[in-house]
């Protein structure tokens, strides 16, 4: 009997501001929706991997979700690898659990009330691991470290504000087609350049949209998946590399080895970069999209602006990027909705945002301040 795993269900909540919803409720809704999408029920779940909320940290959040859903998994864990790599790691662990025979149905989820769930009077995310060497010098939160690396990248590779704007404009255009996107108002370069500076050189429209919301994926053993209603999707290749935690220890953009990561994941899938039909790229900030697109080899270093202005990111191109609007315009829910969108595209269920004939998707991104980076290749089974 085959132990090979398949992605058989996806779910996502509405995104926005929901002050009466908790992270538990949001993740629960996404998980139940994903199970319904797969044609399964909570009682079928014997594996559960989740990430608890950052806005209101919770101990043993996986146990909380299991109790909330009334499930009794044989494997349960909270996984926080950072950003998009958290969900990638959950999926890898789910595949391994199924292939080892430990589980038949595994749920992977993340979500929180990031827009409304912070403690009263709090601003941004709290941090206790940069106090001594960074916070006394003003390196706090997430925007400022990203701004430092944006400046470094622009200085080295010649990236211009207009190039960052082209990334934001493309994401907004895709979000306008997505009924479940927060930011849909049309954006042009003047609007981008006119947005206020947050931490130079990052403007407001360089920053992702913080929302309340959640997403989930369900994986099942291949023989069970064959009996379920949805088109099966396979995790065909993955690669991850960790370099640092604090921005003061950033090793350099070349040392991230993004091209090697992409090549490794593609080789596992028996593919090359030109085979990728749709790319879902972590875009907490516009510079994230720039670093990954150029680092993975979609375009040359310093060439992303011309690449974007030529329409290469947009629907109708050979490989559209962030067809759901990404973190920039759909909303920031970690990286889970990038994976949800990849599955939706490969099923052919993306509606007005569908990439015609999509058979191979790449999800790429990182956690921290480019501290851990990962690539996943997904395909129709």
Residues 141-173: pLDDT tens digits?
A: 889 999 999 999 999 999 999 999 999 999 999
CATH number at residue 99: 3.40.47.10
Find how far residue 57's CA is from the centre of its chain: 20
Strand 212-221 relative to strand 105-113: parallel, antiparallel, unpaired?
Answer: antiparallel
Q: Which residues are within 8 A (CB) of 99 and not within 5 positions of it... i.e. 6 or more apart?
A: 3, 4, 5
Q: Which residues are within 8 A (CB) of 187 and not within 5 positions of it... i.e. 6 or more apart?
A: 168, 169, 172, 173, 205
CA torsion, points 285, 246, 240, 355, in degrees to nearest 10? 0
* 58-67: long-range pairs with CB below 8 Å, 24+: 58/23, 61/23, 64/24, 65/24, 65/27, 65/28, 65/31, 65/109
Can you say whether the dihedral through the CA atoms of 97, 98, 104, 110 is positive or negative? positive
HSE, CB side, 13 Å, CA atoms: give it for residue 367.
22
Digit-coded pLDDT (tens) for 258-302: 999 999 999 999 999 999 999 999 999 999 999 999 999 999 999
Give the separation between CA 232 and CA 22, rounded to whole angstroms.
31
Digit-coded pLDDT (tens) for 10-59: 999 999 999 999 999 999 999 999 999 999 999 999 999 999 998 887 88
pLDDT of 122 higher than 70 = no
At residue 252, φ and ψ (nearest 5 deg) are: 120, 150
Span 174-202, mean pLDDT? 97
Pick from 198, 213, 353: nearest CA to 287: 198
Does residue 86 lie within any of the structural domains? yes
298 in Cβ contact with 279 (< 8 Å): yes
CA torsion, points 185, 214, 293, 79, in degrees to nearest 10? 160
Does residue 136 lie within any of the structural domains? no
At residue 1 the predicted structure's pLDDT band, cuts being 50, 70 and 90, is very low
pLDDT number for residue 2? 44
Does residue 296 lie within any of the structural domains? no
Span 87-105, mean pLDDT? 97
Count structural domains, the chain: 1
Domain that holds residue 103: 5-118+210-225
Tokens describing residue 323: 């067809």
Q: Which residues are within 8 A (CB) of 252 and not within 5 positions of it... i.e. 6 or more apart?
A: none
Digit-coded pLDDT (tens) for 307-347: 999 999 999 999 999 999 999 999 999 999 999 999 999 99
Q: Mean pLDDT of all residues in the chain?
A: 94
CA torsion, points 270, 314, 328, 290, in degrees to nearest 10? 60
Q: What is the pTM of this model?
A: 0.96
Q: Which region, left, alpha or beta, applies to residue 287 given φ > 0 means left and ψ of -120 to 50 means alpha?
A: alpha
Does residue 81 lie within any of the structural domains? yes
Pick from 260, 294, 256: nearest CA to 154: 294
Give the separation between CA 131 and CA 198, rounded to whole angstroms.
22
Place of tokens 């404009």: 169
């Amino acid at each position: 009997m085959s132990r090979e795993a398949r992605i058989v269900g996806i779910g996502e909540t509405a995104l926005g501001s929901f002050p009466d919803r908790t992270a538990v409720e949001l993740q629960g809704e996404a998980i139940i929706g994903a199970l319904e999408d797969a044609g399964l029920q909570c009682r079928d779940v014997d594996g559960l991997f989740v990430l608890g909320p950052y806005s209101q940290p919770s101990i043993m959040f996986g146990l909380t979700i299991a109790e909330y859903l009334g499930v009794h998994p044989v494997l349960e864990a909270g996984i926080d690898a950072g950003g998009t790599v958290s969900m990638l790691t959950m999926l890898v662990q789910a595949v391994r659990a199924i292939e080892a025979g430990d589980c038949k149905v595994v749920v992977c989820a993340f979500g929180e009330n990031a827009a409304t769930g912070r403690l009263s009077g709090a601003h941004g995310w709290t941090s206790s691991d940069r106090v001594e060497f960074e916070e006394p010098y003003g390196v706090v939160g997430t925007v400022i470290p990203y701004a430092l690396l944006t400046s470094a990248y622009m200085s080295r590779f010649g990236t211009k504000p207009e190039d960052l704007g082209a990334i934001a404009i493309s994401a907004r255009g895709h979000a306008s087609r997505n009924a479940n996107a927060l930011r849909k108002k049309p954006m042009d370069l003047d609007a981008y350049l006119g947005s206020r500076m947050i931490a130079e050189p990052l403007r407001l429209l360089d920053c992702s949209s913080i929302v309340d919301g959640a997403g989930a994926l369900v994986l099942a053993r291949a023989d069970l998946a064959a009996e379920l209603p949805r088109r099966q999707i396979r995790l065909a290749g993955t690669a991850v590399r960790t370099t640092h935690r604090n921005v003061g220890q950033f090793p350099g953009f070349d040392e991230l080895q993004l091209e090697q990561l992409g090549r490794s994941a593609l080789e596992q899938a028996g593919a090359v970069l030109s085979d990728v039909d749709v790319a879902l790229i972590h875009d907490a900030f516009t510079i994230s999209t720039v670093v990954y697109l150029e680092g993975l080899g979609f375009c040359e270093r310093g060439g992303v602006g011309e690449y974007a202005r030529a329409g290469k990111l947009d629907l109708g191109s050979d490989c559209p990027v962030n067809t759901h609007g990404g973190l920039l315009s759909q909303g920031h829910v970690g990286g889970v909705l990038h994976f949800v969108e990849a599955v939706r595209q490969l099923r052919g269920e993306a509606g007005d945002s569908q990439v015609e004939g999509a058979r191979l998707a790449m999800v790429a991104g990182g956690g921290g301040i480019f501290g851990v980076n990962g690539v996943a290749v997904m395909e129709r089974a």
